[in-house]
Amino acid sequence: MVEDLKVLRAKRLIDGTGSDPIEDNPVVVVSGSKILDVGSESDVDIPQQNVTEIDLSELTILPGLIDQHIHLGLPADGRPYEQVMQDSDALLLIAAVNNAYKALNVGLTTVVDCGTRNRVIFDLKAASERGLIETPRLFVCGRPLTMTGGHFWFCNNEVDGPDEVRRGVRTLLKEGADFIKIMASGGGTANTDVSRASFSVEELKAITEQAQTYGVITKAHCLSSDSINNAIEAGIHCIEHIGFIDVDGTRAFHEDSVRKIVNQGIYVSPTIQTGFRQRERLLEKAKLQPLSAKEQATADSLKYKHTQKLANLTKLYQMGVTLLGGSDAGCGSSQTDDYVFGLELMVQAGMTPREVITAATFKNAEALQLKDSIGSLESGKIADIIAVRGNPFEDITTLHNLELIMLGGDVVRR
Mean pLDDT of the chain: 96
With helix as H, strand as E and coil as C, how does the chain read?
A: CCCCEEEEEEEEECCCCCCCCECCCEEEEEECCEEEEEEEHHHCCCCCCCEEEEEEEEEEEEECEEEEEECCCCCCCCCCHHHHCCCCHHHHHHHHHHHHHHHHCCCEEEEEECCCCCCHHHHHHHHHHCCCCCCCEEEECCCCEECCCCCCHHHCCECCHHHHHHHHHHHHHHHCCCCEEEECECCCCCCCCCCCECCCHHHHHHHHHHHHHCCCCEEEECCEHHHHHHHHHHCCCEEECCCCECCCCCECCCHHHHHHHHHHCCEEECCCCCCHHHHHHHHHHHHHCCCCHHHHHHHHHHHHHHHHHHHHHHHHHHCCCEECCCCCECCCCCCCCCHHHHHHHHHHCCCCHHHHHHHHCHHHHHHCCCCCCCCCCCCCCECCEEEECCCCCCCHHHHHCEEEEEECCEEEEC
Confidence class of residue 49 from pLDDT cuts 50, 70 and 90? confident
Whether the pLDDT of residue 25 is over 50: the answer is: yes
pLDDT in tens, 186-216: 999 999 999 999 999 999 999 999 999 999 9
Burial class (CB in 10 A: 0-12, 13-18, 19+), 291: middle
Q: How far is CA 9 from the centre of its chain?
A: 29
Does residue 191 contact residue 229 with C-beta atoms inside 8 Å?
no
pLDDT in tens, 250-308: 999 999 999 999 999 999 999 999 999 999 999 999 999 999 999 999 999 999 999 99
pLDDT in tens, 87-133: 999 999 999 999 999 999 999 999 999 999 999 999 999 999 999 99
pLDDT in tens, 1-15: 456 899 999 999 999
Kindly list the distances between the CA atom of residue 57 and the CA atoms of 7, 42, 379, 390, in Å, as whole numbers in the listed order: 12, 16, 21, 11
Of 99, 104, 109, nearest in space to 65 by CA: 109
Which domains can be identified in the chain, with CATH numbers? 5-63+371-413 (2.30.40.10), 65-337 (3.20.20.140)
C-alpha–C-alpha distance, residues 331 and 77, integer Å: 8
Confidence class of residue 181 from pLDDT cuts 50, 70 and 90? very high
Task: Give the angle 99-348-306 at the CA atoms, nearest 5°.
Answer: 70
The model carries a pTM of 0.96
Kindly list the distances between the CA atom of residue 246 and the CA atoms of 95, 242, 243, 257, in Å, as whole numbers in the listed order: 35, 12, 9, 13
